[in-house]
Amino acid sequence: MKVSKPIAVAGCLALAFLIGLLPLASGCAPAEEGAADGEGAAPEAQYSWRMGNAWTQVERNKSMQVFADLIYEYTDGQVEVEFYPGGTLGTHDEMFHAVMDGSVEMGNLCPYVHLLPGGMMNWMPWTIGTYDEAAFAVQRPDGVIYNVMTDAYDEVGVKLLWFTPMGPYGIGCKERPIKVPEDFQDLKFRVSGSLGFVCCVENMSEGTGMTLETIPWADLYNALERGVVDACWSLWGSLIEERHYEVLNHYTDLGFGFDMNNVCINQELWEGLPADIQDAIVEAGKVAEERDFEAHRRADKAYQQQLKDFGLDIYYPTEEERMVFRDKANMSECWSEHCVPWLDEHYGNGEAKADEILAALDRIIETY
């Protein structure tokens, strides 16, 4: 029997939007008799939290606001979450530490390994590459990436709630379209603390003289504009929402990795919550995650047309051309160097665990 796809259901987006409007609808309803005397007024929240996102990301921020609204709705007003987008609670790393120590209760976190030792397991390149594949890898309660990332966040005192995707990664460049690995020649390429990605790009560009520059994501636009770097990995959403298209001339839809951040809560706070509150937050996260997957899937299609209209040169490699990059990436080396030691420490026999995870991902790719 064919299993139905949890994220690809056409009604998910509409349902999420409708549910997200419920708090607004109730807020506009006429007051009941006696409300002027304090009767029928909304109950005072028992918990008032802050949740942040360090970046200006339109659809992701909408989904996080839906999540905050649904928490209030599903807990009957017991939990009130104020959402702060665009870095108003600090840089990403500052917010990551704040969620760890509880000074900020919730946030959208990137699993960079200098903050999360097991974070590379979230998005190793050349594995899952589509929204459907990602949806099955992260679904509760036994998605292969959901399970390993839950363990990774437990290690640093943070509870993983849901995944927020922004789709497949491509390569942006100011100088030339990247059609073959040799096109990396002498470029200055921006990388991050995602060591699996760094290893992948380093191997794909081996022998070309390309140099790697570690630059925070929030500083990428300025780095490209000023010539500090002239190439980077990016996403359809980031090209539009974070305006990368303004400082790039070419984009290759390589699809060598898949972006997923993680919406999380402080672990100690989570463990102290009543079970009904936990259940309500989990349900709100499920709806927000479904909304986010479908919204980004649709936005990616619209963004591609916008980028063509803006004049960005977009190259769509064939599958054979993509495999040249994949073969050169030598991902078995990257898994051995960056994944196996952490897996060995947490599960014993890291090589066997890595093989188990890769086999599960391969089954997903073959099926979806």
Provide the pLDDT for residue 44: 86
CATH fourth-level superfamily of 12-22+47-165+260-301: Bacterial extracellular solute-binding protein, family 7 (3.40.190.170)
Provide the pLDDT for residue 254: 98
Q: Which residues are within 8 A (CB) of 48 and not within 5 positions of it... i.e. 6 or more apart?
A: 80, 82
Extract the tokens encoding 110: 């990137």
- For residue 300, what are the CA distances in angstroms to 23, 62, 147, 211? 29, 15, 27, 30
Interatomic CA distance for residues 284 and 12, integer angstroms: 13
Interatomic CA distance for residues 105 and 203, integer angstroms: 39
Provide the pLDDT for residue 39: 53
Extract the tokens encoding 243: 């305006």
Provide the pLDDT for residue 24: 40
**Are 29 and 42 in contact, with CB atoms under 8 Å apart?**
no
Say yes or no: do domains 12-22+47-165+260-301 and 170-257+303-334 share a fold: yes
**CATH assignment of 170-257+303-334, given 3.40.190.170, 3.30.470.10, 2.40.50.140, 3.30.300.30?**
3.40.190.170
Q: Which of 259, 240, 264, 258 is nearest to 67 (CA)?
A: 264
Q: For residue range 260-296, what is the model confidence (pLDDT) as tens digits? A: 999 999 999 999 999 999 999 999 999 999 999 999 9
Q: Residue 212: phi, psi to the nearest 5?
A: -110, 135
Beta bridge partners of 313: 250
Q: Which of 98, 107, 27 is nearest to 68 (CA)?
A: 107
**Are 216 and 202 in contact, with CB atoms under 8 Å apart?**
no
CB atoms closer than 10 angstroms to residue 177: 17
Beta bridge partners of 172: 232, 251
Extract the tokens encoding 84: 């702060």
For 212, half-sphere exposure in the C-beta direction (CA atoms, 13 angstrom radius) is 17
Q: Domain spans of the chain? A: 12-22+47-165+260-301, 170-257+303-334
Q: CB pairs under 8 A, 24+ apart, for 332-338?
A: 333/199, 333/203, 334/124, 334/125, 334/196, 334/199, 334/200, 334/203, 335/124, 337/199, 338/113, 338/120, 338/195, 338/196, 338/199
Q: For residue range 173-185, what is the model confidence (pLDDT) as tens digits? A: 999 999 999 999 9
Provide the pLDDT for residue 328: 98
Going 224 to 228 to 231 to 237, the CA torsion angle's sign is: negative
Extract the tokens encoding 167: 């789709």
> Which residues of the chain fall below pLDDT 70?
1-42
Residue linked to tokens 């870095």 = 87
Where is 45: in which H helix or E strand?
A: none
Provide the pLDDT for residue 4: 35
Provide the pLDDT for residue 142: 92
Instruction: Report helix angle 58-74 to 11-20, nearest 10.
Output: 60
Extract the tokens encoding 123: 């998005």
Extract the tokens encoding 168: 């497949």
Extract the tokens encoding 277: 């509150």
Provide the pLDDT for residue 202: 97
SS3 47: strand
**Are 237 and 300 in contact, with CB atoms under 8 Å apart?**
yes
Provide the pLDDT for residue 65: 98
- For residue 12, what are the CA distances in angstroms to 18, 19, 130, 286? 10, 11, 18, 11
